[in-house]
Structure formats: structure tokens, C-alpha cells
Chains A and B, each alone.
Chain A
Amino acid sequence: MNRLKLILLQVAVGFGFLLLWHVLTNYPILAPTRQTQFFFSTPLDVLARVWKEFASGEIWRHLWITLMETILAFAFGAGGGILFGFLFARRELLAAVFDPYIKAANALPRVVLAPIFALWFGLGIWSKVALGFTLVFFIVFFNVYQGVREVSPVVLANARMLCMNERQLLRHVYWPAALTWMFSSLHTSVGFALVGAVVGEYLGSSAGLGYKIHEAESVFDVTGVFAGMVILSIFVILIDFVVTLIERRLLVWRPAPSTNGQG
């Protein structure tokens, strides 16, 4: 009942927003409709365009490219972040020496790197993967570093008393602890992989969702821009859903946040 009410309210808000948009763009309330439609399009037009994109099959190619870029950026970023996070957490000296450089690199706004990556890797998918990588890498890196550094000293001492060697400690203690931290930032890092891909496409490419939006924008096709945004949102929600499933599967051992797990 409560849940149903919530869903109804959520739908009502969305519907209300669409209705407002529809009314304001189809009736000359604030300005002539020609003018409002030029700037804001109309919800029905946007919907029709989204439908057309999917029906004609034109959009799938772009979705596929963006998905590939996102997955590759995440895979490389997470892989590198885990590797270096581990390395730096276990080697004090490395962490100390590289600290200022890592902070400086992380402070850099990644957008400025996009043209350079385009120069280095061309306009294909790899320049977008590189941009996503620079975003994902640091998130995962910092989380894994933290996770390995903050392993519970008691759990660690216990594992050592069980005579585990360094490799076994890595596998049974450090690695799961680091993964926990990584997964706590999974939604963020996957999101950033996607941001890297889309922004990269937007700034220069010939395929992908970012390209579609940019293409529509350059001819003042507001309907096309909004349609691209709607498709992008659906895409993000689907990816986030998959991430949630993976997270649930891998973190079964964690107490659910709502229940009181202590006994």
C-alpha cells in the first residue's frame, strides 16, 4: 500500500512535469508557440523522436559504441586503480613520494585532456576510453588504497596468527577489504566512465550518444538534443540497475543497512 502510494506519487510528479511542458509549449501562454517550441520542443515531439530512433534502428549503433567505451573505460580504470591502490598501500615509500603528483593529477579538470587524447588516440573510441579512464582510475585508486590501509587490525592479526603468508593475506584479507571499498564507489565510478565516454564523444567523434546530441545541437535541433538526453537517461538507469545486481551478488556478506545486524 505504502509502496504503491509512493509509485503513484512518483508517476504523478513525472506526469505533472510533462503536462506543464506540454501546455506551455502548445499554447501561447508565455510566448508565441513557434518561439517556445524552438527553444523547448514539445514532449510529444521528443517522445516521437525517441521512438523513431529506436524503430529505425539508427540509435543502436551509437548506444553500442557508448556502451563499449563505458565498459572499457571502467575496466581499465578499475584495473589500474586496484593495481596501484594495492601497490601504494603496501609500499609506504611509493605512496609518500608520489603523493603530491597524484593529488595534482587528480585535481586537473579532465575536460582539458579531451583534445590531447583526441590528438594521441584519434577520434575513435580510444580517446573516449582514455578520458573515462582518467576519471575512473582515481576514484578506484583512492578507495582501494583506503580499503587496504584500513583493514581491521584485529582481523589482520587473526589471519596472521593462522600463519597465512603474504599471498594468502592478500587473497583472504586485503583483497576482499579493498573490493568492499571499491564496490562502495561502484555506482560513482561506472557513472564517471559513462561521463568520460559521452563528454569525449561530444567534443569530437563520429558515433555515440554524445555525438548524437552534439550533432542535433549544431543544427539547433532541440527535439534531437532532448531525445538524446532521454535515451542517455534510460541508458544510465539500465546500467545502474545492472551495477546494483552485481553489487548485491558480491556483497552478500554485508549486513543490510536497514536491519540491525548485531546480536
Chain B
Amino acid sequence: MALSAVHRRRNRSILMPESQIAPAVLLRSVAITFGPKVGGYTAVQNIDLSVSPGEFIAIVGPTGCGKSTLLNASAGLLKPSDGKVEIFGVPLHGLNSRAGYLFQQDALMPWKTALQNVAVALEPKGVLRKEAEAMARDWLRRVGLAAFVDRYPHMLSGGQRKRVALAQMLIRDPEILLMDEPFGPLDAQTRQIMGNLLLELWAANRKAVLFVTHDLEEAIALADRVVVMSAGPAAGIIGEFPVPLPRPRDIAEVRLEPAFHHIHKKIWASLRTEVQKAYAQGEGATQ
């Protein structure tokens, strides 16, 4: 039966225009085990998740539950030990070339200036250097770094570096955006500015977004749907909550709405026990 389902999906994706029916990212019974298949550490298990084109999804869960692992699987950086990953209806082999990835850690090339870091993202597309630099300049202006184009990453603040990375990801115009706690290390004000910036850019050109955060309020303020994961090992998805707040949203103002509190309360009820579980395992101390 499972086999015929596979066949049907495959045929469908060939016969019909994929954008209409196929989710941008589809994870089906995905499990990821580190180390040996037997006796290794199973980080996530039985993950079913579907992200439609243009949909903004936030993933929350206790630290160490496997959020980054899921993004890595969607990016093609990690091969699931079980289950499968489909991108716009096509099974994923190797790297996901239709996705942009904003990493949790600093991933800029330290030997390139902000401008060079952003412009180099266009090189694989065959854009000429002059043109790429003009576009990069424009993107850096859009993320508010017009005055910092010639700085090297070590001369930028954490928030500025994240903005360069954002521009580097967006300039390629990927159809899927994978973001791993992009605003994690930033202070509260910068987070708000970055959140609004992200929403603004996204509203102008809607992409499928998988946004990982440990901040539930941020998740609700940004996303169309919040996905809650359980504590590891063998973490799974324990709830999906739609966020029917109207757009455009302002990160700071949306938090004051009664509907926001209502959703927050509902999600927190399911998240809380998992966070406590993670703490009890000592995961909370280590990240």
C-alpha cells in the first residue's frame, strides 16, 4: 500500500504543474539517527511536516530536541536515516538547491567584506561580477547596512553579521528559506527590528519559510503556523497551531493583541512539559 502511494504521488508530480499541488517542503516519517544505525542517538523520529509555497512556519521546541537537525535534513546537508524528504514534489537527493539557509552560527566567509560575501552568492548563478556587486550593494542597503559594505565580518556586530547573512541568502532569491534561530544571540531591540525587516522582505516576495526559534512569542508574531516539537531523544512533532493573526504585522504591536495571548497560552501549555522534560535531562544547561 505504501508503495502504491509513492507511485501515485510521483505520477501526479509529473503530470500536474507542481507549484499548485506539491508542498515546498515535505518531510514524511523522517527519522535521523547519529552514529551507528543500531545503538546510535536517534535525535528525531516520525516527523511529518508539510510547508506550502508562500507559507511561514515556525518551529519551536526545547533546546537540543533536533530543530537544527530537521533544517539540515530539509537542506540536504543530512540524509535521513528513515523516511523521505520531498522538495516541490521531487525527492531530495544531495543538496537542496532551491533553498537558502541562514545558519545558527556565523557562516560568513571571514576573508570577504560584507559586499563580497553577498555578491559571491550570485557567482554560482553566473551573474557577472560588476552586476553582482551592484545587486549586493542594493541588498545591503535594504537590510540597513549601506554604510558597512566594505567591512569584514569581524568589524561588524552580531546583528549586523546576521543581516549580511540574510542579504546573502535572499539575493539568490531561493524558493525556500531555512532559518535557524537567526536572531538568537541578538538583544531584544535588534530582534524586533530584524523581525520586522524579515516580515517586510517576505511580504514583498513570499517564500516558503521554515523558521526555527526558541522564543515562542517570536514564533507566533512571525509565523502562519507554529510547530511544536517534543524533547529528545526521538523527538517528534507534538502539535501544530495555526496563527490567524492579520498581516501585515508589527512584531512589537501584535504581541499586545488578545488573540496573541490566547494562542500563546494554548501553545505554551503543550510546550511547557517538554521544556521541563528537557531540563530534567540536563539538556537545558548545555544547549
Residues of A within 8 A of B (CB): 154-155, 157-165, 168, 172-173, 176-177, 180, 252-255, 261-263
Contacts and interface: CB of A to CB of B under 8 A. Distances in A.
A159 B116 CA distance: 13
Interface in B95-126: 95-97, 99-101, 103, 105-113, 120-121, 123-125
Given A161-B99, A165-B124, A263 B157 contact: yes
A163 B110 contact: no
Interface stretch (B135-143, B148-156, B265-273): B148-156
B154 A254 contact: yes
The 10 A-B residue pairs with the shortest CB-CB distance in the complex, in nearest-first order: A158-B107, A263-B157, A261-B154, A163-B124, A255-B154, A176-B111, A253-B152, A161-B101, A253-B111, A154-B107
10 contacts: A158-B108, A159-B109, A160-B95, A161-B77, A162-B172, A163-B172, A176-B109, A177-B111, A252-B152, A253-B113
Nearest to A255: B154
B168 interface: yes
Contacts of B157: 263
Interface residues of B, number: 34
A263 to B, nearest CB: 4
B152 A168 contact: no
A86 B198 CA distance: 40
A252 B106 CA distance: 19
Contacts of A162: 120-121, 124, 168, 172
B43 interface: no
Contacts of B70: none
B233 interface: no
Contacts of B77: 157, 160-161
Contacts of A159: 109
B108 A155 contact: yes
A168 B123 contact: yes
B158 interface: yes
B107 A253 contact: no
B103 A154 contact: yes
A163 B124 CA distance: 6
B75 interface: yes
A263 B190 CA distance: 13
Given A162-B172, A263-B157, A155 B107 contact: yes
Contact of B75 (A161, A172, A254, A261): A161
Contacts of A262: 154
A164 to B, nearest CB: 5
Residue with the highest number of chain B CB atoms closer than 10 Å, among A158, A159, A252: A158
A164 B152 contact: no
Contacts of B153: 253
A151 B110 CA distance: 11
B279 to A, nearest CB: 27
Contacts of A255: 154-155
Nearest to A165: B124
A181 to B, nearest CB: 12
Contact of B110 (A164, A165, A168, A253): A253
A129 B108 CA distance: 40
B101 A158 contact: yes
Contacts of A168: 123-124
Contacts of A164: 123-124
Contacts of A165: 124
A161 B168 CA distance: 11
A182 B130 CA distance: 30
Given A158-B165, A159-B109, 9 more contacts: A154-B106, A158-B101, A161-B75, A161-B77, A161-B101, A173-B109, A261-B155, A263-B158, A263-B160
Residue with the highest number of chain B CB atoms closer than 10 Å, among A163, A164, A180, A254: A163
